[in-house]
Amino acid sequence: MGKHLQLIGTIVPLILVALGLVSWVFTLRSDISTSQVQIVEMRRAITLADQQSTQTEIEINKLNKLIEDFDEIEAITEEVDVLIFRINELTEEVNNNSPGIAKLKTDLAIANDQMRTIMADHSYMGEMLEQLGKGQPAGERRDYGFGGY
């Protein structure tokens, strides 16, 4: 019986170790399966995050383009403001000079009328000198420059 006890004393710890190893293997297998499921879920999450990152990058590029457009609009607005200021200056200058321009127009109209009167007098004088010149002897006739005479 001593031999049997010795054999049982050797086999029981081996069985216990074997049962411990089997339970450890099943626990390890369960942990590996759980880890694999988590890895698959993490890959899905990473894929979604990557897609969202790509979409965010696209949106950031659109935002940058809008900012560039806004900068261009600001520059154009500044140019328009400068042009409006210049137009206002020119309008003020025209308004300030309008009475002078109106007087110049009036003075030019008067001068034009006087010139016509003088030209008419010169034409009449030319006719008179022509008539006088016809009465002079041929050697005494002169060209006065009025009306071709």
pLDDT at 120: 87
36 is in which domain, residue-wise?
Answer: 2-98
pLDDT band at 117 (very low <50, low <70, confident <90, very high): very high
In a domain, residue 75? The reply is yes
Q: Is the pLDDT of residue 9 over 90?
A: no
Distance, CA of 31 to CA of 85 (rounded, Å): 78
Is residue 56, in this structure, part of any structural domain at all? yes
**Torsions phi, psi of 37, nearest 5?**
-60, -45
Q: Give domain status of residue 112, yes or no.
A: no
Assign 148 a pLDDT band (cuts: 50, 70, 90).
Answer: very low
Question: Does residue 105 or residue 127 have the better pLDDT?
Answer: 105
Dist CA 120 CA 109 (whole Å): 17
Give me the number of domains the chain comprises. 1
Q: Which residue's structure tokens are 């110049």? A: 104
The answer to whether the predicted template modeling score (pTM) of the entire model surpasses 0.75 is no
pLDDT of 121 higher than 90: no
Residue 88 maps to a domain? yes
Q: Hey, what are 94's tokens?
A: 């025209």
Residue 25 covered by a domain? yes
